[in-house]
């Protein structure tokens, strides 16, 4: 005889807290090893002038580019728009993508970006963990990717998270030029402690991400009971899309203090933990004075905002350009506005790399200008860099005033 709905519910509640314990242990085992499998697509080193790193030289960025099933083509287009030899790139397809698509992504990068074979700075995650964006498995994936980036190259300056639905609004030369004058310990992360309705709907509910301990499971379970808002630390929330310094990433993954691990215990069972973990760690730690309260993304929201922003289109192009912001989200695949950005802002042709000062090949319609290269330690900024510089000057003044960062 099948159990009644009420008895089934009580049975689920009976086993929920043991599952929470299992999820905590499983997540910690996963994060303690950070054994991300990456399929390297490059195997040799460049014959061009060596990279110059350090405060007196141009910065470099570690990009985590993430997508879901059928997002391979979007990730390739995003990679081509963002590529620069000084940077490091890790492409991530979630567990809902097939092994065939994952292998195909590796081959697609080789074909679309042959210059990357020489520089060895692009990798693809080989075996992602199952889970749901609503649970802690998404956070575990980001932390694992950050740790992998540190192992692959420990000299980059900022860790940048982007999705397949994002796109740059300037060239990497523009970005490198402006960030060359930015203190490299700063973190660009949208955050607030004014959690409002989120206290009852995000902070207090207890969930278990089934993907943490059951392979292939994508849903989460929610307890009928709630827990009190913590008073051992202040809860901060904000955009999950961040630009974090290497020093702060090292603090979160291999740091000498227990705060990142203690908060990870709590956020293991928080809905959308990606929207609170880094924010709460940074604002409750000694890094609170390094937070610039801006994620440097262009988005258009409903009023009041919904869970996701509007899809951007050609009608938003002028506003995007004038904003001076380096990244925008979100876009539909192959929308006409992406072609407009390629042509009017990035100065690139479809299926080719965004050209920069490092590209030395003659520019013809049948030839990639970046098929040959020279000095990778220089940047040639364009008009969009001026707009971004004005924006950066403004947000840094706000940071210096301390009026908008980690306010309790």
Structure confidence by residue, pLDDT tens digits, 379-403: 999 999 999 999 999 999 999 998 8
Give yes or no for a contact between 150 and 51, defined as CB atoms under 8 angstroms apart.
Answer: no
Check whether the bond before 150 is cis (ω within 30° of 0). no
Work out the number of other CB atoms within 10 angstroms of the CB of residue 43.
8
**DSSP code for 367:** B
Query: In the structure, what pLDDT confidence band is assigned to residue 208 with cuts at 50, 70 and 90?
Result: confident
Predicted pLDDT at 128? 76
Question: Is the per-residue pLDDT at 101 higher than 50?
Answer: yes
Predicted pLDDT at 12? 43
Strands (E), 139-219: 158-163, 166-168, 187-188, 205-209
Answer positive or negative: Cα dihedral of 322, 325, 331, 334: positive
Alpha helix stretches (DSSP H) within 113-217: 115-119, 136-152, 172-179, 198
Query: In the structure, what pLDDT confidence band is assigned to residue 142 with cuts at 50, 70 and 90?
Result: very high
CA-to-CA distance for 73 and 303, rounded, in angstroms? 32
Predicted pLDDT at 304? 67
Query: In the structure, what pLDDT confidence band is assigned to residue 44 with cuts at 50, 70 and 90?
Result: very low
Question: Is the per-residue pLDDT at 291 higher than 90?
Answer: yes
Question: Is the per-residue pLDDT at 176 higher than 70?
Answer: yes
Predicted pLDDT at 82? 98
CA-to-CA distance for 280 and 285, rounded, in angstroms? 8
Predicted pLDDT at 215? 61
Q: Average pLDDT in the 253-269 region?
A: 91
Question: Which two structure tokens, joined as six digits, stand for 263?
Answer: 């908060």
Residue 11 or 150, more confident: 150
CA-to-CA distance for 363 and 69, rounded, in angstroms? 35
Three-state DSSP at 168 gives strand
Query: In the structure, what pLDDT confidence band is assigned to residue 19 with cuts at 50, 70 and 90?
Result: very low
State how beta strands 122-125 and 88-93 pair. parallel
Answer left, alpha or beta for residue 49, where phi above 0 means left and psi between -120 and 50 means alpha. beta
Work out the number of other CB atoms within 10 angstroms of the CB of residue 254.
11
Predicted pLDDT at 306? 67
Distances, alpha carbon 258 to alpha carbons 151, 261, 279, 314, in Å: 21, 5, 16, 47
Check whether the bond before 181 is cis (ω within 30° of 0). no
Predicted pLDDT at 407? 83
Residue 128 or 94, more confident: 94
State how beta strands 327-329 and 166-168 pair. antiparallel
33-37, 88-92, 97-101, 357-361, range with the lowest pLDDT? 33-37
CA-to-CA distance for 170 and 38, rounded, in angstroms? 28
Query: In the structure, what pLDDT confidence band is assigned to residue 26 with cuts at 50, 70 and 90?
Result: very low
Distances, alpha carbon 279 to alpha carbons 65, 92, 162, 273, 276, in Å: 20, 23, 17, 10, 5
Out of 129-133, 204-208, 294-298, 367-371, give the one with best mean pLDDT: 294-298
Q: Average pLDDT in the 76-100 region?
A: 94
Query: In the structure, what pLDDT confidence band is assigned to residue 218 with cuts at 50, 70 and 90?
Result: low
Predicted pLDDT at 105? 94
Question: Is the per-residue pLDDT at 25 higher than 70?
Answer: no
Residue 349 or 213, more confident: 349
Give yes or no for a contact between 69 and 82, defined as CB atoms under 8 angstroms apart.
Answer: no
Domain boundaries, the chain: 61-195+228-401
37-46, 143-152, 205-214, range with the lowest pLDDT? 37-46
Distances, alpha carbon 329 to alpha carbons 24, 81, 88, 240, 311, in Å: 32, 14, 21, 12, 7
Q: Could you tell me the pTM of the whole model?
A: 0.89
Taking all residues of the chain, what is their mean pLDDT, rounded to a whole number?
Answer: 86
Give the list of residues 6+ apart from residue 10 with CB closer than 8 angstroms, or none: none
Distances, alpha carbon 408 to alpha carbons 37, 186, 286, 292, in Å: 39, 19, 15, 15
Contacts of 314-318 spanning 24+ positions with Cβ under 8 A? 314/340, 317/341, 317/344
Query: In the structure, what pLDDT confidence band is assigned to residue 364 with cuts at 50, 70 and 90?
Result: low
Query: In the structure, what pLDDT confidence band is assigned to residue 278 with cuts at 50, 70 and 90?
Result: very high
CA-to-CA distance for 189 and 240, rounded, in angstroms? 8
Residue position matching structure tokens 């000095």: 375
Question: Is the per-residue pLDDT at 47 higher than 50?
Answer: no
Counts of helices then strands in the chain (DSSP H, E): 13, 13
Query: In the structure, what pLDDT confidence band is assigned to residue 21 with cuts at 50, 70 and 90?
Result: very low
Predicted pLDDT at 305? 65
């Amino acid at each position: 005889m099948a159990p009644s709905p009420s008895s089934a519910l009580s049975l689920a509640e009976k086993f929920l807290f043991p599952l929470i314990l299992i999820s905590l242990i499983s997540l910690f085992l996963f994060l303690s090893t950070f054994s991300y499998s990456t399929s390297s697509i490059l195997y040799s080193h460049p014959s061009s002038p060596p990279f110059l790193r350090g405060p007196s030289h141009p910065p470099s960025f570690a990009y985590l580019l993430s997508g879901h099933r059928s997002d391979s083509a979007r990730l390739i287009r995003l990679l081509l728009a963002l590529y620069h030899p000084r940077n490091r790139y890790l492409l991530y397809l979630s567990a809902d993508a097939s092994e065939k698509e994952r292998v195909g992504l590796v081959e697609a990068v080789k074909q679309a970006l042959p210059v990357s074979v020489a520089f060895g700075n692009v990798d693809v995650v080989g075996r992602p963990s199952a889970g749901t964006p609503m649970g802690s498995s998404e956070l575990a994936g980001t932390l694992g990717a950050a740790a992998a980036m540190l192992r692959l190259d420990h000299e980059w300056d900022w860790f940048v998270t982007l999705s397949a639905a994002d796109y740059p609004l300037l060239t990497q030369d523009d970005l490198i030029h402006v960030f060359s004058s930015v203190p490299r310990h700063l973190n660009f992360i949208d955050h607030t402690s004014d959690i409002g309705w989120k206290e009852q709907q995000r902070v207090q509910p207890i969930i278990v991400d089934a993907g943490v301990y059951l392979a292939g499971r994508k849903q989460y379970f929610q307890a009928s009971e709630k827990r009190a808002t913590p008073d051992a630390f202040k809860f901060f929330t904000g955009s999950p899309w961040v630009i974090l310094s290497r020093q702060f990433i090292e603090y979160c993954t291999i740091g000498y203090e227990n705060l990142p691990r203690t908060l990870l215990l709590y956020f293991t069972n928080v809905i959308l933990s990606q929207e609170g973990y880094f924010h709460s760690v940074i604002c409750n730690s000694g890094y609170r004075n390094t937070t610039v309260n801006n994620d440097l993304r262009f988005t258009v929201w409903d009023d009041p905002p919904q869970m996701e922003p509007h899809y951007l289109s050609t009608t938003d192009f002028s506003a995007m350009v004038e904003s001076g912001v380096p990244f925008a989200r979100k876009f539909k695949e192959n929308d006409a506005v992406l072609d407009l950005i390629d042509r009017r802002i990035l100065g690139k042709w479809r299926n080719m790399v965004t050209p920069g000062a490092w590209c030395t090949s003659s520019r013809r319609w049948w030839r990639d200008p970046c098929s040959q290269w020279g000095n990778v330690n220089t940047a040639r900024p364009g008009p969009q860099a001026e707009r971004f510089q004005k924006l950066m000057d403004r947000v840094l003044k706000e940071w210096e005033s301390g009026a908008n960062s980690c306010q309790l």
